[in-house]
Amino acid sequence: MSRGALEGIVVADFSRVLAGPYATMLLGDLGAEIVKIERPGVGDDTRAWGPPFDNEGNATYFNSVNRNKTSLVLDLGTEDGRARARDLVSRADIVVENFRAGTMERLGLGYDDLRTIKPDLIYCSITGFGHGGGADMPGYDLLVQAVGGLMSMTGPEPGSPTKIGVALVDVLTGLHALAGILAALNHRNSTGQGQRVDTNLLSVLLSSLVNQASGYLGAQAVPAIMGNRHPSIAPYEVFPTADRPIALAVGNDKQFAQLSDALGLPELAVDERFRTNTSRVVNRAALCDVVSAGLAAEGADHWFTTLTAAGVPAGPINDIAEAFDFAEQLGLDAVVDVPGSSTPQVANPISMSATPVQYRSAPPQLGDAEEN
């Protein structure tokens, strides 16, 4: 097996559930050694988050973010457990934890405690709402989507706030944690200095609201629920066809002209109501009526083929099975077999020419590090 980009890096992973484990799994994919610390008897909460379970009885939720790790059972409520944790940290490069703010400090395992053991330690702390006024708030993704504004702009219609169909804030927070850790590693390589990396779900969500957040800060525009419509682009939404819906993502005037031609309605591109994106947004209702009438003539597969050939971003609304099949058709290798597992996993989406990602081991059984 080729060397991973992070080969030789050891991570003491005190995190559980999703944001932290996702970040550490990616570090493991990149070659780092990940030792996952788990509670006696139960381990990570997600070991019990099922159904669904795989054919070996393991929760597929746990499997999704825990490959390339070993599991070390420690009771951090005991001095022996904390001593063993400190021993692990003494040979580690990185600590990742996502306990409620202040928990690791109360255990004597905070950054200031552990850097006395390992001065060049990189210590990444992930919380729900930071270490200030929100320190006591539990960091669950649904809660953050609610109080962070995301649900206020997501849903089928006004008055029906809806969460995203996956714990996306946790995933985004894991990615931000990974970016901070890698930046800290680069700084350590240059200076020999470790540091603390902090991120939290609410701050990550506000940053990830990008154009919507900027619209509020720059123009006091408070976004509302618009279903599948886009506040600044049209037509950029889901339309019915003769059989099932299709998504159109027309991002500029050239693409709109191509759409008009493909629908057999070239006059739309020179109609003053629709000639520019701004005018299309203003006259969205009339535009949607015309586009919907044109799409009603054929089914989604026909329009996907026709519009893609015409240079118009479009695609049917696939379920997950169809999405994986589509990725396979495109040759994206989105599914991998992991040693030690009889069930496949989603591939790491990062491709590296010199140090490719690695799939060394299946998600660990509870306490397997003690058996090796």
pTM of the predicted protein model: 0.93
DSSP 4: P
Give the CATH class of 246-316: alpha beta
H-helix segments, 68-200? 79-90, 103-106, 111-114, 141-147, 168-191
**Could you confirm whether 44 is annotated as catalytic?**
no
Q: DSSP letter string over 327-372? A: HHHTT---EE--TT-SS-EEPPS---SSS------PSPPTTHHHH-
Active-site residue (options: 44, 93, 141, 170): 170
**Under 8 Å between Cβ of 48 and 13:** no
Q: Look up tokens 């989603």; give the residue.
A: 346
Q: How confident is the model at residue 304 (pLDDT cuts 50, 70, 90)?
A: very high
**What's the pLDDT tens digit per position in 102-131?**
999 999 999 999 999 999 999 999 999 989
Domain ranges of the chain: 10-208+333-371, 246-316
CATH topology of domain 10-208+333-371: Rossmann fold (3.40.50)
Same fold, 10-208+333-371 and 246-316: no
- Amino acid 1: pLDDT: 59
Residue 310 identity: A
Asked if pLDDT for residue 134 goes beyond 90, the answer is no
